Structure 1
Amino acid sequence: MSEYDVRKRLEAVLRSRAAEARAEHPLSPAQRSLLILHQTDPANAAYNVAFTARFTGGFDTAAFHGALRSLVGRHAALRTTFGRVGTPGAGAVEGRQSVHGWLEPGFAETDAGDWGDERLAQTVRDDHREPFDLMSGPPIRARVYRTAPGEAVVLLSVHHIVCDFWSLGLMLAELEQLYRAESERRPANLPARNAPYTDFVTYQRDLIATARGERARAYWHGRLAGRLEPTAWPRFEPDPADADGGASIVFAFPDALARDVFALAREAGSTPYVVLLTAFQILIGRYTGRRDVLIGTPVAGRTDPALAESVGNFVNPVVLRAELDGAASFGELLGRARRTVAEALEHQDYPFERLVRELSPPRRDGRNPIFQAMFSYQQPHRYPAHAGLYVADEGAAPVAWAGLTAVPFRLAQQDDQLELVLEVVHDGDRLVAVLKHRTSVFPSAAARQVIRCYLTLLGAVVANPRHRADDLPLPAVGDPGSDRVGDAVGAGDPAGDALADAAAPADEPAPAGLGAQERRVTAVWRQVLGREAIGPDDNFFDLGGNSVLLMQVHQLLTDEAADRPLTVPDLFRYPTVTSLARRLGQAAAPVGEGPGRGRASSRRVQLADGAARGARLRARGRQRVDGDGGRDA
């Protein structure tokens, strides 16, 4: 018998004996909140966290199963069950968690060799949505779908009560080493000890009682003083094709726009996270009609370095409050947001759940307290190669993993926790995002419009950070609580093309004097751009235009006496000769009339003007390091 076989037999004996052992511990505030939600709706899978990938190159199911069992043995959180919260009896009101000496992880293998892609994808979705039994456990399970010899799709699901994004990255990295060790029949040589999650529960409870905890409490009570009314969104036409609950749309930022976001962050002495956050705050302000905007963002919560290698639910949402002065430039709002983020990180230890109980904000059934929209920016700096696997968009590249190739496999998840969530993942030099939306609030068409508006806004601010917030080019989205008005959403799917062309009305009559307006626009463009060959469908930005030249066009074309004076955002909305001529021809039209035929895609606006701005930024050759090292919040 080999040394490997002896070790495996010993492990089996020890696990059998350890199965009877358990230790009781209190819950963290985050765990208590999740447990209450689970008891209220035990069939809800909104808090199932998952990793999926297609493994090729000789996948070994037995080795993966062995690696999973070793992973569970290494982390106490994955061997935890939970008692009920709020039940009568001493010590039961606050709930308890039981850490078992051994708890077998869920595992199943299925032969999917003759399945089509649609059946496989649907089965993976259904298995992911299978609820966890937190009372009896386990809180982790894996499903292996064998698609061909040496190939399999793997679904790893964990309940959020014992896992967060950081933990998922740690688990994937350790699984890689454990799988390789199982395949080679040798020990994995991982560090023998990691701090259990229950140590964090004690650390958090003790910290709250210190002066540092009191300072954090005072900061959040001051920052969130006043009425905290739930967000009032515009009402959108329901989409009969939408399923109940949540949905998500994956989209990649155009490469030029991503580069320009990074460049603007360097120039401003900030980070991509704060640039993207500030744009999202402005977008939410435009949708809600509010100057006072509250957005949640998750922070890692691992302020104690000893917890870096631990699995558990350490993440804590913090509230970022923005006062959106419409006269302030984007650069000014960016500076404010950076200060707000820095303060929030300084006081991140105070549990959000405890803060909610203390502030007692107005509550509405099914709505998150204090904030209803969230922004997150994930840069897996510890395991950067894994970034593309998390979002699994079409541009994500396969990743080498334990001698295999891991191919991204898309799975929508956690899309019904809040009404609107934008998650951006920094994958190498790419930015990839997932917009998660509650379909009862944002039907699919409205969600696609959110993406269009966000990317249009970003294109404008990287082109010119001096834009006043109120002048940023965004379609009208309707008044809060009112039925949707304004621009129609393009019919294309942003998951395939993040900036798909907007659908143009087919039968709009041409305004009077269109020919004269076309000649007027062409003459101005020739003067500003210094070129003669300009056609009716040419795009100003494709011809070399930028934000500086655009301001010259505005000065030459604007007519303050018109019923609808031309604005700078109009020039972004109507970047072709024909579309801008139609806009000028509508000068006497009623306010609220939509854009005419010939409106160019927002993609062309962003790529052209954003690229011009980015080229200037990159030419300066600045190498300033991001203020927080480029890490996620």
Structure 2
Amino acid sequence: MEKIDNEYTEPGLAQIEILSKPDYVPKYLENVTQAYRIKGRLNAEVLHAAFDVISRRHEEIRTIFRWSEREGFSRFVQEPVARYHFVPEDPEHDATVAGDSAWVAAEIHREAFKPIDLSVGPILRYRLIPISKGSEWLFLITVHHIVFDGWSKTIFQREISETYNALIKNQQPELPQIARSYHDCVTVQRRKHERGGFQVHEAYWREIFASLRFPLMMPCGRDRPELFSFQGGQFEFSIEAHKTGIDEFCRAYSCTSNYLLLAAFFVLFERKTGQRDVCIRSPIANRKNSNREAIIGYFVQPGAYRIVLNKKMRYIDVVRCLSKSSLDVSANAELPPQFFEACAGVDVGRSYVSPFQIHFNYQPFSPDLLKFDDVAVIKESVPLQGVKTDLTLSICEGENALSGVFGYYAGIFCGEDVRLLAFDYLNIIEEIISDPEKMAVE
């Protein structure tokens, strides 16, 4: 039986942006799906108990959102109950045929593309599917982006691992104290907006976006479909061979690697299209206060970097320009997406999703932290559900790893186009670290 706190509250402003998306935007685009093959002596009862602990700890993964003519969008918190997030399998499930790799891939695909009903929940669900008669399972977790950003993924993986590993030893997990809830944080943002506190940030972004060129010409020059289809692809590549050189460059020039990697992206786009005035959207984690570091929620806010390249700029000048502007970008990344995009003053129509056709994401942390004692946890590939813009470069940097992924809109790019982009991008990185004084514009 559904148990809901009868007291409703207003969603965060960024959450309202997601709730207000038009019906033609696929709902599954907001799914964050994680998939693992588990082998060994997993204790399923302890895993369920670990999820219950995390559910009680983070109320945001127990929320639902509903709409009424009188109140608009409202947020309700469901009471914590055992196994609330667990989705059991059909009793007729046959584990003897489920271990096949094609079956596993198909099941992950079905899970990733199954929308979450925000009015019913659960907003986070998990499945533990036996895929052999022995000790092997397919472990699937899907959560909606409306309560879950990239930082949240790290929190969740760490806490579910530490909780399971403590409970299996009949111990209590030692998790960091949560000083406030996610909803407390977004309420502060809403009050800031009501008091006119967004105005200074809106003024900053309107100035940055003044005379913003839209639309940009994309590499490869294919005709754009009349309607944006959200269908896309991705190309993964390693930057590991350049990591030592990047680290040495950053030490020599007192900068961080994300600005070098972003600078290379700007140069790549100029060389492929001839356009020198380019704006690239880049998210900011928005975890500036230490009391936000342990909270699962949708904190990330949009930011952007705009550069006008010229023939007098060296590679190091591009990197320094980005590094210098980063403080202002971070300080003004306080707007929910709908307010941020309004500052561009562009009506994009149905052929585009956003006035920002190029995105850059940098994740300076380990991409996966899920670990259970005495159990092999093997990460499985999750298919790309779709794209929300033309071209996105995502960089993931761990202690001993550095990789990139180009996500692309299939309406104007093909896989070979993006493979060549990645090849040229790596060459530009090599040029930057080998000869920082070289002119960026050829």
| Among candidates 239, 254, 262, match of residue 247 of structure 2 | 262
Question: Which of 217, 221, 243 does residue 206 from structure 2 map onto?
Answer: 221
SS at match of 2:389: coil
The residue number in structure 1 matching 2:303 is 318
Match of 1:123 in 2: 107
In 1, are the aligned partners of 2:363 and 2:395 still within 8 Å (CA)?
yes
Q: Deviations over 1:405-433 (max 9, x none)?
A: 32222213354122111111112222112
Query: Cα offset for 1:318?
Result: 0.7
CA contact (8 A) 1:112 1:120 kept: no
Q: CA RMSD in A?
A: 2.6
2:264 to 273, 279, 300: 279
Q: Note the alpha carbon deviations across 1:302-344, whole angstroms, 9 max, x for none.
A: 2232222111111111111111113311111111011122210
Indicate conservation of the 8 Å contact 1:48/1:160, yes or no.
yes
Aligned-partner Cα distance in 2 for 1:288–1:415: 25
- Which residue is 1:29 aligned to? 13
Q: Which deviations, in whole Å up to 9, do the C-alpha atoms of 1:591-627 show, x marking residues without a partner? A: xxxxxxxxxxxxxxxxxxxxxxxxxxxxxxxxxxxxx
Name 1:96's counterpart in structure 2: 74
CA–CA separation in structure 2 for the residues paired with 1:457 and 1:191: 42
Aligned residue for 2:88, secondary structure, equals strand
Aligned to 2:404: 433
Corresponding residue to 1:245 among 231, 244, 247: 231
Per the alignment, residue 354 of structure 2 pairs with: 369
Match among 276, 290, 294 for residue 309 of structure 1: 294
Identity across matched positions, percent: 22
Deviation at 1:189?
A: 4.1
CA distance in 2, matches of 1:22, 1:102: 14
Matching residue of 2:414: 443
1:76 corresponds, among 59, 64, 82, to 59
Question: Secondary structure of the residue that 1:333 maps to in structure 2?
Answer: helix
- 1:629 is aligned to none
Q: 2: distance between equivalents of 1:46 and 1:117?
A: 25
Picking from 150, 165, 170, the partner of 2:150 is 165
> Is 1:452 matched with 2:436?
no
SS at match of 2:175: coil
CA contact (8 A) 2:354 2:389 kept: no
Which deviates more from structure 2 when the two are superposed, residues 399-408 or residues 96-105?
A: 399-408
> Is 1:360 the equivalent of 2:341?
no
Q: What is the CA–CA distance in structure 2 between the aligned matches of 1:41 and 1:60, rounded to whole Å?
A: 42
C-alpha displacement of 1:402? 3.6
Deviation sequence 1:455-477 (CA, Å, 0-9, x none): 12112222111221223xxxxxx
1:344 aligned residue:
329
Per-residue deviation, residues 137-185 of structure 1 (Å, max 9, x unmatched): 1111112233343332312111101100111110111111222244234
Q: State the partner residue of 2:46.
A: 63
**Distance in 1 separating the partners of 2:230 and 2:284:** 29
Pair 289,406 (structure 1): closer, same or farther in 2 beyond 3 Å: same
Whichever residue aligns with residue 150 of structure 2, its letter is: F
Residue 256 of structure 1 and its aligned partner are, at CA, apart by: 3.0
State the secondary structure of the residue aligned to 1:421. strand
Alignment of 1:401-420 (within 5 A): 401-413=372-384, 415-420=386-391
Contact residue 8 and residue 76 of structure 2 kept, 8 A? yes
- 1:561-580 equivalences under 5 Å are none
Q: Please state whether the residue corresponding to 1:360 is helix, strand or coil.
A: coil
Distance 1:199 1:333, change over 3 A: same
Deviations 1:526-561 (A, max 9, x none): xxxxxxxxxxxxxxxxxxxxxxxxxxxxxxxxxxxx
Given that 1:52 and 1:154 are in contact with CA atoms closer than 8 Å, whether structure 2 keeps it comes out as yes
Compare relative contact order (CA 8 Å, sep 6+) and give the higher one, 1 or 2: 2
Alignment pair present for 1:469 and 2:440? yes
Match in the other structure for 2:88: 108
Equivalent in the alignment of 2:33: 50
> In the superposition, relative to structure 1, how do residues 347 and 403 fare at CA in structure 2: closer, same or farther (>3 Å)?
farther
Amino acid of the structure 2 residue aligned with 1:70:
V
2:118 is aligned, of 115, 134, 137, to 134
Q: Partner amino acid for 1:201? A: V
Distance in 2 separating the partners of 1:375 and 1:414: 18
C-alpha deviation, 1:215, in angstroms: 3.0
| Distance in structure 2 (CA, Å) of the matches to 1:35 and 1:324 | 38
Mark the CA change 1:415 to 1:286 in structure 2 (over 3 Å): closer, same or farther.
farther
Moved more, 20-29 or 228-237: 228-237
The DSSP-based 3-state class of the residue aligned with 1:45 is helix
Which of 215, 223, 235 is the aligned partner of 2:221?
235
CA distance in 1 between partners of 2:50 and 2:24 (Å): 32
Secondary structure at the counterpart of residue 152 of structure 1: strand
Please say if 1:300 is aligned against 2:278: no
Q: 1:199 to 1:297 in 2, by over 3 A?
A: same
SS in 1 for 2:392: strand
CA, structure 1 residues 113+322, in 2 after alignment: closer, same or farther (shift >3 Å)?
farther
Question: What is the CA–CA distance in structure 2 between the aligned matches of 1:187 and 1:303, rounded to whole Å?
Answer: 29
Deviation, structure 1 residue 51: 2.0
* Deviation of the 1:252 alpha carbon: 1.5
Q: Note closer, same or farther for the CA distance 1:457–1:61 as it changes in structure 2 (3 Å cut).
A: same
CA distance in 1, matches of 2:266, 2:94: 47
- Secondary structure, aligned partner of 1:470: coil
Say which is worse superposed, 111-120 or 167-176, in terms of deviation.
111-120
CA distance in 1, matches of 2:9, 2:56: 18
Corresponding position of 1:631:
none
Partner Cα distance (2:312, 2:112) in 1: 47
Deviates more, 1:413-422 or 1:317-326: 413-422
Q: Structure 1 366/31 Cα, relative in aligned 2: closer, same or farther at 3 Å? A: farther
Note the C-alpha offset of 1:226: 2.2
- Where does the alignment leave 5 or more consecutive residues of structure 2 unmatched? none
4+ residue segments displaced more than 6 Å: none
Counterparts of 1:46 and 1:266 in 2: how far apart (Å)? 39
The AA in structure 1 aligned to 2:337 is F
For the 8 Å contact 1:247–1:412, the answer to whether it is kept is: no
Distance in 1 of aligned mates of 2:174 and 2:323: 41
The SS at the match of 2:28 is: coil
**CA shift at 1:102, angstroms?**
3.2
- For the Cα contact (< 8 Å) 2:112–2:385, is it kept in 1? no
Contact 1:299 1:316 in 2 (8 A): yes
Distance 1:259 1:22 in 2: 56
The question of whether the paired residues in 2 share the 8 Å contact of 1:54 and 1:152 is answered with: yes
CA distance, structure 2, for counterparts of residue 403 and residue 146 of structure 1: 18
CA contact (8 A) 1:55 1:154 kept: yes
Residue aligning to 1:146:
130
Contact 2:344 2:355 in 1 (8 A): no
